[in-house]
Structure 1
Amino acid sequence: MTKAQFNSEPERPDQKSSLTLKQRAIRGSLWTLSGHASSQLLRLVSNLILTRLLFPEAFGLMALVQTFIIGLEMFSDVGIRPSIIQNHRGKDPNFLNTAWTIQVMRGFLLWLGACLMAIPAANFFNQPMLVYLLPVVGIGSAIAGFNSTKLATVNRDLDLARLTILELGSQIIGIVVMVIASWLTRSVWGLVIGGLVGSFTTMILSHLALPGPRNSFHWDRECFQELHRFGRWVFISTLLTFLAGQGDRLLIARFLDVRFLGIYTVALSLSRVTAEVINMVGDRVLFPSYAEIIRERPDRLYLVLRQSRLLLILISWAGSLFFIVFGKTLIGILYDGRYAEAGWILQTLAIGALVARVGHTYDNVLLAKGHTMTISGLLATQTVIQLSAMILGNYWAGPHGVIIGIAATGWLMYPFIAICHARQSVWQPELDLPLIAVAIGIAALVMPH
């Protein structure tokens, strides 16, 4: 990008003008990775404390409540952040304030939805406490609706140092409150209270600690139409992402029991360490980078994509192979005997992740191109495959079959991912097919044992 091109855009003169995209991406990746590592360490410490304060049954209930928390947080975005990053008007005050107004309204609607779903959810899962928990948890979505759009604009510019520090600060405050509240109450209310405090801290800091103009209520019809065109499919994708990402816990809670759900959650939290690294780097760094490349130098997309995917796949496979070999030992060291079953669950999920990560490293390209409808189609397919595999697995082999069904989802999804990206001329068989062949060999060696 030349200086003249930069000055033609309605953006503030900042560090973006003096750093290349590659430099900003590298620096942003370093901040993202260091922040994620710190976040995971904090989460692990708090997880170890909480599992000692609560029995597996209570931990399972916490996981069920967390599923609703994640779902509500996902629904509170409705495409606002990716719209700001992807759209050419992402620095226009009218666009930002219209987006913020929509976000605030959506937050309150989600809180109302949480109140309305409390009784049906409690009856469906046979957990009476959800009647009280869900309305309180829903307050977090109303709070998140007031988050400043500066969270998205600093991400658009790959100015991730401030964003990482803000999120770590909010997480630390939330965890401290969560542990203290759990110690005092010895119940799931500790998680709820800590989550609300963390959400409130993020909201306040997003307005006070980040550069940029303040948000105010505003409505621009043209801006709304642009947000709606992009965001309607993002909303559907978000709903499907929730079902694909959290449906496993909902089915386990329904068909098995909260004790097994608690054990599964322990294994899942460890198995997703590298996946969360990939997702965060993709979300924070690669998505805005791909969007900028598509806007300015689309001929470079394939090469940049291959380089970034290879690095992310190697990181993911290192974690998966570690869990395949040492999963049971690690669970035995970190947790007491009540969580011993998490060992084989962790190993099985790690085998499934070998191919799943190959497919998921494509994720941000379609979003950067604005093909949100295709993303929704892939997520719908993944949801159907995962839930069907879990149901059939439970029918044939009980809990073991459920876990195998979850692990197999990534393998079964890859052909659909390959077809969609081949149509966009970004499928990379020269990288994917050899890796899948190796994954099949590893699975053949490990699964019989």
Structure 2
Amino acid sequence: MAEFEKQPPVALPATARWHSVLRHAVGSRRSLLGAAGWVSATFIAQQTLRLVSNIILAWLLAPALLGTMLLINTLRTGGELLTDVGVGQSIVNNPRGSEPTFYNTAWTIQILRGLLLFALAIALTVPIARLYDKPELLVLLPAVAPIFILTGLTSPARFLLQKRLEVRKLALFDLASAVFGTAVQIALALYTPTIWALIWGLLIGTAGPAAASFFLIDWRSHRLRWEKEAVTAVLHFGKWVFLSSLIYFLAMNFDRLYFADAIPLALLGIYGIARTFADTITLLFQRMGSLLIFPKVSASQQRGFDLQRAIRPIRLVTLLIAATGLAFAVALADRFIFLVYDERYHAAGLFLSILLVGSWFGILSTMADAMMMGVGKPSGVAFSNGAKLAVIAVALPLLLPRYGMNAALLVFVLADAVRYAMLAWRKRGVGLSFLRQDAALTLFFFLLIFLFREATMLLGLTEGVDFWFAQARMPLA
């Protein structure tokens, strides 16, 4: 990644100049790898907390409660993504992003958006409850609605740290927020094992980090501002971010919205367990892309083949490690579910194995997303998510009624593969194609799944590959 930093001209003899460039390159690579280490380590800690919390809550609460909360969280996330105008991305991408006038204007836009979302949540409560024929939403949705105000008031400091590549500080803050939110939710579930433990846990777990975020930078620098030039810059950059977020939400959450009406809430809760684990893998790479690749590419003056050549080696190493770890996870996914969950949740075993296969294409796609955003081409991200959405929206309603839940989950693998294919095509236009590398890595990934599964069968840890096919023929819905 040393080539990410364009070297300034220096008036030195050739040998001295080479050593100067080499020292700078080594320092830049060490800095990037150190940042990647912080992102990975704190993310793993966060997700460990999240997954431990998930397991504990599954023991404490009924599957139907988890299914209800999955629907509520999906609707909440939808509201946030469907009104995303790229406030944070604009701060990171714009040269003026570090100026108080610019980021305070962006923050003001964010606050107004939060107030608008709160009002919309209240107004849409009755239609949503009737749509899903779930009267309990008439009380639960207004109870969750204040979260939009809390997220709107959150300081823009996180985006400033991201722009400055102050990864260590940001990573530690996110880890502390995760610890706080996990502790609150488990404590409430122990006290009152009802849906209100999840509702109050969400609100308190959001309010604490929102207040703490003001101290990531000098809290006195926060002001409500409305500079016309900054507003124009945010909205101009945000138009493609808005479209991309709109399609991204539908592509990533159509399953939850559709399943909430098509299958029992208990089965939705079981599916949510599998999705939580599968999404963890993709989220790690989304985080690395957002905190490292996106700001680094944005700041670089290199483009096209020069940028591709700079990225290729470390990208190969990263994806080799990812392919190996993910293939091992696929091989042991069902055994893990059987060990840590009671029999009410055992169907999540095969669900998780299937979804993790799709995560491989999700990893390839998220890395491509970050590069396309970095070179100022968010339209490619929007089109790729649109292609994924089209596959899910057409195929899922066709497969679920005819072949059941297990077969329907294969739609997500196909959809992620289509999303990646669209991004690969768009990346060729900006000189960032990695098709040969990705084809070889994908073959390597599937070969490893087979080898790991058969090896664990010989060790008596799992059944063979044929066990998956036998399970897949047993429809659950």
Q: Normalising by structure 1, report the TM-score.
A: 0.90
Cα deviation code 1:345-400 (max 9, x no counterpart): 11111223333433332111111122122322221221111222212221431212
CA spacing shift, 1:289–1:339, aligned 2, 3 Å: same
Superposed, 1:225-374 pairs within 5 Å as 225-293=232-300, 295=301, 300-374=306-380
CA spacing shift, 1:274–1:74, aligned 2, 3 Å: same
What corresponds to 2:42 in structure 1? 35
Question: Per-residue deviation at 1:211?
Answer: 4.9
Moved more, 98-107 or 109-118: 109-118
Amino acid of the structure 2 residue aligned with 1:238: S
CA spacing shift, 1:79–1:410, aligned 2, 3 Å: same
What corresponds to 2:417 in structure 1? 411
What corresponds to 1:9 in structure 2? none
Question: Per-residue deviation at 1:101?
Answer: 0.8
What corresponds to 2:135 in structure 1? 128
Say whether residues 1:109 and 2:77 are aligned partners: no
Moved more, 419-428 or 331-340: 419-428
Amino acid of the structure 1 residue aligned with 2:330: I
- Secondary structure in structure 2 of the residue aligned to 1:91: coil
Cα deviation code 1:126-154 (max 9, x no counterpart): 22222222222221111111111211111
What corresponds to 2:208 in structure 1? 201
* Distance in structure 1 (CA, Å) of the matches to 2:202 and 2:317: 33
Contact in 2 for aligned 1:21/1:289 (Cα 8 Å) = no
Superposed, 1:409-448 pairs within 5 Å as 409-438=415-444, 448=469
Moved more, 22-31 or 269-278: 22-31
What corresponds to 1:398 in structure 2? 404
Question: Per-residue deviation at 1:220?
Answer: 1.0
What corresponds to 2:173 in structure 1? 166
* Distance in structure 1 (CA, Å) of the matches to 2:302 and 2:361: 32
Question: Per-residue deviation at 1:307?
Answer: 3.1
Question: Per-residue deviation at 1:297?
Answer: 7.0
| Aligned residues with identical type, % of pairs | 27
Superposed, 1:72-221 pairs within 5 Å as 72-75=79-82, 77-211=84-218, 214-221=221-228
* Distance in structure 2 (CA, Å) of the matches to 1:160 and 1:126: 45
Cα deviation code 1:382-431 (max 9, x no counterpart): 11112222122214312123211122212233332221111111111220
Contact in 1 for aligned 2:323/2:445 (Cα 8 Å) = no
Amino acid of the structure 1 residue aligned with 2:190: W
Contact in 2 for aligned 1:107/1:141 (Cα 8 Å) = yes
Question: Per-residue deviation at 1:85?
Answer: 0.8
- Secondary structure in structure 2 of the residue aligned to 1:272: helix
* Distance in structure 1 (CA, Å) of the matches to 2:401 and 2:433: 36
* Distance in structure 1 (CA, Å) of the matches to 2:43 and 2:439: 30
* Distance in structure 2 (CA, Å) of the matches to 1:141 and 1:240: 20
* Distance in structure 2 (CA, Å) of the matches to 1:370 and 1:343: 40
Question: Per-residue deviation at 1:20?
Answer: 5.6
* Distance in structure 2 (CA, Å) of the matches to 1:425 and 1:399: 40
- Secondary structure in structure 1 of the residue aligned to 2:146: helix
* Distance in structure 1 (CA, Å) of the matches to 2:380 and 2:167: 28
What corresponds to 1:70 in structure 2? 77
Contact in 1 for aligned 2:6/2:302 (Cα 8 Å) = no
Contact in 2 for aligned 1:275/1:316 (Cα 8 Å) = no
* Distance in structure 2 (CA, Å) of the matches to 1:441 and 1:37: 26
Moved more, 439-448 or 63-72: 439-448
CA spacing shift, 1:382–1:297, aligned 2, 3 Å: closer
Contact in 1 for aligned 2:395/2:411 (Cα 8 Å) = yes
* Distance in structure 2 (CA, Å) of the matches to 1:369 and 1:258: 42
* Distance in structure 1 (CA, Å) of the matches to 2:134 and 2:323: 38
CA spacing shift, 1:3–1:415, aligned 2, 3 Å: closer
* Distance in structure 2 (CA, Å) of the matches to 1:404 and 1:2: 44
Unaligned ranges ≥5, structure 1: 6-16
* Distance in structure 1 (CA, Å) of the matches to 2:275 and 2:310: 31
* Distance in structure 2 (CA, Å) of the matches to 1:334 and 1:143: 34
- Secondary structure in structure 1 of the residue aligned to 2:387: helix
Amino acid of the structure 2 residue aligned with 1:222: E
Question: Per-residue deviation at 1:26?
Answer: 2.1
Amino acid of the structure 1 residue aligned with 2:439: L
Contact in 2 for aligned 1:252/1:261 (Cα 8 Å) = yes
What corresponds to 1:14 in structure 2? none
CA spacing shift, 1:153–1:337, aligned 2, 3 Å: same
Question: Per-residue deviation at 1:282?
Answer: 0.7
Q: Normalising by structure 2, report the TM-score.
A: 0.85
How many residue pairs were aligned?
Answer: 437
